Amino acid sequence: MAEKDFEADDPLEFVAVRYPVDPTVDSDAVMARCFIEEYALFGTPPEQIAKLFRSPFFAGTNAILKNRGPEFVQGIIDDVFRTGSIKEVS
């Protein structure tokens, strides 16, 4: 793998942006479920997924935990692993 020096204005740097959604959509629930389902499909156990939400190094998941609390996140984790299915959140 090629290595390169860090560039302050790197054009390939990841940048998070918000996408406008209908105000009736619970965007925290949609994003949390998306993260959880993706890691579940990778074979990540529920306990490890919960740790991702608690880690400040994972800004997206951690922001959801701070905004909605651990019960909210755990409820979605439980639902994903209980049903074993991927579904649309409205």
- Separation between Cα atoms, residue 59 and residue 41, nearest integer Å: 21
Taking CA atoms, 68 is separated from 10, 47, 57, 62, in Å, by: 33, 18, 18, 10
Per-domain residue ranges of the chain: 27-83
Q: Give the tens place of pLDDT for each residue, 4-58.
A: 777 777 777 777 777 788 999 999 999 999 999 999 999 999 999 999 999 999 9
All residues at 6 or more sequence positions from 76 whose CB lies less than 8 Å from its CB, including other chains: 29, 32, 33, 36
CB of 70 closer than 8 Å to CB of 46: no
Q: What is the pTM of this model?
A: 0.73
> Taking 70 as the threshold, does the pLDDT of residue 87 lie above it?
no
Assigned token pair, 8:
């302050």
| pLDDT band, very low/low/confident/very high, at 80 (cuts 50, 70, 90) | very high
